[in-house]
Chain A
Amino acid sequence: MAKIKYIEHTGKEHVVDVKSGMSVMEGAVKALVPGIDADCGGACACATCHVYVDAAWLTKLEPMQEMEKTMLDFAEGVEGNSRLSCQIKVSDALDGFTVRMPKSQH
């Protein structure tokens, strides 16, 4: 279990308890946090669960797989701290993890 903070592009914050083993994307969807579409449901096929990761956390995450890297490379509004939230697995170590959502996923 970890507390994950989701910040909408408007600045509105949501702190959600997410079970270990779930993805950061699922944590948001299950808690009805807006701003993450996740059309494909977590198959790394659509790039509609794009988030910006708090800088302090970037190095603490498992490195990106090639598929995520390339999907992001072609998504809109990508920055150096962009990730696909369906590919970040939640564990106790992620307690306090913070992500910001882009204005749009399309």
Chain B
Amino acid sequence: MGDSVVIVGAGQAASQLAASLRGESYQGTITIVGDEPYIPYQRPPLSKAFLAGELARERLFIKPEEFYTEAKCTLRLSTVATAIDRARKALKLSDGSELTYSKLVLATGARVRKLPLPGADLPGCFYLRGIADVERLQDFFKPDKRLTIIGAGYIGLEVAAVALKRGVKVSVIEALPHVLARAASPEISVFYEDEHRRSGVDLRCYVRTESITQSGGALAVNTSSGIVPADFVLIGIGIVPNVELATAAGLDEDNGIVVDQFAQTSDPSIYAIGDCTNHPCAYASTGRVRLESVQNAIDQAKHAALSICGKAKAYNEVPWFWSDQYDLKLQIAGLGAPDDQIVLRGQPSSRSFAVFRLRDGVIAAVEAVNAAPEYMMGRRLIAARARVAPERLADKAIPMKEIVQ
């Protein structure tokens, strides 16, 4: 029997892997198994332009359907992979059939973390991860409706910005002392708190949600600082990696499917890529990381393709992320750690500034708000493990191109 790659999951990583395998002249068959009814689509616009109604659904698709036909990549959509038989190198599917593989690639992504509180499953409570979630949510986006968002991460804050623009009244409840607490430095968090409050968001940090109840035709979010009434609720408290298929097959798992720098799991015939993986990362203070990003999905897919095609190259790309809120573009490169030295470049009040994070004198991360030079140069400096004196980084009079002496 000929060579075959079977990909579980039909997101950004799966689409890139199919493209990269063909780009590397892979001759075997390629099959993508996805549980959603859609061909691979971009998730980042879901909480931004797509939710805002500024981007039609067709424009979410990463590649047109013809791409998969031309690439001789079979799509098995609305299909769940139920088990891996490693001994027989076969993947069992929800329709009772099975696919045999030479290489299996788990691109299973992540699912929303459910809020384990009473009332979180009431009608009118939403999560946001896929196209269907946004389409359900959009019906409620009407002027003067009251939206309460639980969780002030990227999803919560991006949805808040879109909702305000549509005339929705927005409250955001965050259990931690600051917004974006897991994603960015305190300087960035405080800046975004001010921006959201100034725009009209009722933002409540360090407030615990206790339950959601129904009262009349509306909902009430009961918190440690009182009741927040709402017509609808969005819960955005993070995502959890889809590892169950891997663990049931006995693959190593540790906050994600454990892979090496070639995206290979503890079974050499099985790879894993994207949000579901825990992988080595020289830019992480702990040496390993699980990333939730387009960059990681794309780059890890490219490296898995190289490895499958016998041209293995270690994955070592600088992580990068972005978030659009109001007229603010947040661009982040590298990974922060709690004890980083923080260097501020520019004034937050100017709405264009950057935070550099230094670790042992080396630039480890940059968080740039409407500051593309700092972000673009920062990315290069992080890759180069550059050392730049903090006082130079802080000096806006020195252009980024001349920042390295």
- List A residues at the B interface (Cβ < 8 Å): 22, 26, 29-32, 39-41, 43-47, 67, 70-71, 73-75
Q: Is B376 an interface residue (CB 8 A)?
A: yes
Are B372 and A70 in contact, CB atoms less than 8 angstroms apart? yes
Q: Is B361 an interface residue (CB 8 A)?
A: no
With A40-B294, A43-B322, A45-B329 already in contact, the answer to whether A32 and B63 are too (CB < 8 A) is yes
Are A67 and B329 in contact, CB atoms less than 8 angstroms apart? yes
Q: List 11 A-B contacts (CB under 8 A).
A: A32-B70, A39-B298, A40-B322, A41-B44, A70-B372, A70-B373, A73-B376, A74-B373, A74-B376, A74-B400, A75-B376
- Chain A residues positioned under 8 Å from B324 (CB to CB): 43
| B361 nearest CB across to chain A (Å) | 23
Are B59 and A22 in contact, CB atoms less than 8 angstroms apart? yes
Q: Which of B63, B320, B380, B400 contacts A46 (CB 8 A)?
A: B320
**CA–CA, A70 to B379, complex, Å?**
14
Q: Which of A29, A41, A46, A47 contacts B45 (CB 8 A)?
A: A41
SS class, residues of chain B in contact with chain A: helix
With A40-B44, A67-B329 already in contact, the answer to whether A74 and B372 are too (CB < 8 A) is yes
With A41-B42, A75-B376 already in contact, the answer to whether A30 and B64 are too (CB < 8 A) is yes
Task: Count B interface residues, CB 8 Å.
Answer: 27
Are B294 and A41 in contact, CB atoms less than 8 angstroms apart? yes
Are B64 and A47 in contact, CB atoms less than 8 angstroms apart? no
Q: Is B66 an interface residue (CB 8 A)?
A: yes
Q: Is B269 an interface residue (CB 8 A)?
A: no
- Chain A residues positioned under 8 Å from B42 (CB to CB): 41
- List B residues at the A interface (Cβ < 8 Å): 42, 44-45, 48, 59, 62-64, 66-67, 70, 294-295, 298, 320, 322, 324, 329, 331, 370, 372-373, 376-377, 380, 400-401
| A63 nearest CB across to chain B (Å) | 16
B329 (CB) vs chain A CBs: closest residue: A67
With A40-B44, A67-B372, A75-B376 already in contact, the answer to whether A32 and B67 are too (CB < 8 A) is yes
**CA–CA, A45 to B331, complex, Å?**
7
With A67-B329, A74-B373 already in contact, the answer to whether A26 and B44 are too (CB < 8 A) is no
Q: Which of B294, B320, B370, B400 contacts A67 (CB 8 A)?
A: B370
The list of the 5 closest CB pairs from A to B, nearest first, reads A74-B376, A70-B372, A45-B322, A41-B42, A71-B372
- Chain A residues positioned under 8 Å from B70 (CB to CB): 32
| A36 nearest CB across to chain B (Å) | 12
- Chain B residues positioned under 8 Å from A26 (CB to CB): 59
**CA–CA, A26 to B322, complex, Å?**
20
- Chain B residues positioned under 8 Å from A46 (CB to CB): 295, 320
Are B63 and A29 in contact, CB atoms less than 8 angstroms apart? yes
Are A41 and B320 in contact, CB atoms less than 8 angstroms apart? no
Q: Which of B45, B64, B376, B380 contacts A70 (CB 8 A)?
A: B376
B324 (CB) vs chain A CBs: closest residue: A43
- Chain A residues positioned under 8 Å from B373 (CB to CB): 70, 73-74
- Chain A residues positioned under 8 Å from B370 (CB to CB): 67
- Chain A residues positioned under 8 Å from B329 (CB to CB): 43-45, 67
| A57 nearest CB across to chain B (Å) | 24
Are B64 and A32 in contact, CB atoms less than 8 angstroms apart? yes
**CA–CA, A75 to B373, complex, Å?**
10
- Chain B residues positioned under 8 Å from A73 (CB to CB): 372-373, 376
- Chain B residues positioned under 8 Å from A31 (CB to CB): 64
Are B294 and A39 in contact, CB atoms less than 8 angstroms apart? yes
**CA–CA, A73 to B377, complex, Å?**
10
**CA–CA, A41 to B236, complex, Å?**
23
**CA–CA, A26 to B56, complex, Å?**
13
Are B66 and A32 in contact, CB atoms less than 8 angstroms apart? yes
- Chain A residues positioned under 8 Å from B380 (CB to CB): 74
| B328 nearest CB across to chain A (Å) | 11
| A17 nearest CB across to chain B (Å) | 13
- Chain B residues positioned under 8 Å from A29 (CB to CB): 62-63
Q: Which of A40, A67, A74 contacts B377 (CB 8 A)?
A: A74
Q: 9 more A-B contacts (CB under 8 A) besides A43-B48, A74-B372?
A: A29-B63, A31-B64, A32-B66, A32-B67, A43-B44, A43-B324, A46-B295, A71-B376, A74-B376
